[in-house]
Structure 1
């Protein structure tokens, strides 16, 4: 997928705005590489849309178009003085009308890993599974007050 220039991005957003909302997009739009978990954001104080280029690269044009439509819902409702936040009725209604996604898919490159720590009581052999590490010098077994020992550390996707 070729790199998109600022002018091409502005043109694409305006084209999507005219197609789905019958209104032009007149403010600024840009790519923001620092966005991590979101596909884009609308900044009401600057009337600006920032988009994550990783979503276009990894998930394709269709998902990226959905993200643009979602941000345009925020934009057009804000301009009209209606409820433009996620919990507002106007926003949810416009999302449905335009076929915009409520949330974007997670990036394939950002895998969420969970670590499970398994602790065993030295005295009674009771097993504790925790997502966070436990300071074994500070905490004891809840059953018998015995000392805890880290048995295993498992990492899952």
Structure 2
């Protein structure tokens, strides 16, 4: 699906489900990592994560479009458009949009730990992605002193 097809899809869902036109821009944004879409308060444009379509298909993308259109229409009407607002939750339920996007992390792609710590007393290993303060933390097994191994 390209940008023009996405724009037409968003306009179609807006007219058929919400009975209101979508007059701004919808586009794919590959920089989105954990969210399915994003509504821009200033420009009223919508961004969508292309991974939703690639990993979960058109049905899930349509649910994300409905979710973002709920933000869009409620914000333009001056009603509660945030996730916690009753207006948003009611419109989301009525439109059939999803509250949360399905998992977008691709299975098997996990960053290896960058830091490896070991206990000087019992030898317990602690692989970590982030560096830790050795003055602040001790071994969870024996309370021994930690040291950087790798």
TM > 0.5 between the two? yes
Give the match for residue 77 of structure 1.
74
2:22 equivalent in structure 1: 25
Once the two structures are superposed, the pairs formed by residues 2-151 of structure 1 within 5 Å of their partners are 4-109=1-106, 119-120=118-119, 122=121, 125=122, 134=132, 146-148=144-146
1:58–1:108 CA contact under 8 A, matched in 2: no
The change in CA–CA distance for 1:76 and 1:140 in structure 2 (over 3 A counts) is closer
Q: What do you get for the CA RMSD once the two structures are aligned? A: 3.4
**Bigger shift: residues 126-135 or 32-41:** 126-135
TM-score (norm 1): 0.74
More strand by share: 1
Alignment deviations for residues 12-48 of structure 1 (CA, whole Å, 9 cap, x no partner): 0011112211112111111111111111100010010
Aligned residues: 147
- Specify whether residues 94 and 149 from structure 1 end up closer, same or farther in structure 2 by C-alpha distance, changes over 3 A only: same
TM-score (norm 2): 0.77
Can you give the 5+ residue segments of structure 2 that lack an aligned partner in the other structure? none
Mean Cα deviation higher: 61-70 or 133-142: 133-142
After superposition, the Cα gap between the structure-2 partners of 1:137 and 1:89, relative to the gap in structure 1 and judged at 3 Å, is closer
Maintained 8 Å contact 1:70/1:102: yes
Asked which structure has the greater CA Rg, the reply is 1
Consecutive unaligned residues in structure 1, runs of 5 or more: 152-157
